[in-house]
Amino acid sequence: MITIILNDAPYGNKRSYNGLRLALARAEEDVRIFLMADAVFCALENQTTPNGYYNIARMLKSLLKRGANIHMRGSCSDARGVSENQVIREVVKSDMATLAGW
């Protein structure tokens, strides 16, 4: 089992991208991803990126298809105005207690 915590926005630097690359490389295992702070924007549906450029939403959907558990911290999404109807349906609104349990 591997748990990856992402804190940064999906674009602007490659921290979230690299964390998801690691998750994809380990996708045969039980993968858990926790999005907090600006990383909640990674879960936004309908991201448009230039051709040939990585797309964080597509990476998350690929992980979900492979059985990954993806949670986002509810208070972080609330503070940033991100509602549940804006994010990928399978991403679970969660809390620090869940992360601590992982």
97 vs 51: which has the higher pLDDT: 97
pTM: 0.94
Residue-range domain boundaries for the chain: 2-101
Q: Which CATH number fits domain 2-101: 3.40.1260.10, 3.40.50.150, 3.90.1150.10, 3.40.630.10?
A: 3.40.1260.10
Give 3-state DSSP helix, strand, coil % of the chain, rounded to 5.
40, 20, 40
* pLDDT, tens digit, 9 for 90 and up, residues 12-43: 999 999 999 999 999 788 999 999 999 999 99
Chain centroid to Cα 51, Å, comes to 21
Extract the tokens encoding 34: 């926790």
Angle (CA) 50 64 36, round 5°? 75
Name 93's Cβ contacts closer than 8 Å, sequence gap at least 6: 71, 72, 74, 77, 84
* pLDDT, tens digit, 9 for 90 and up, residues 51-76: 889 999 999 999 999 999 999 999 99
- Which pLDDT score is estimated for 89? 95
- Which pLDDT score is estimated for 36? 97
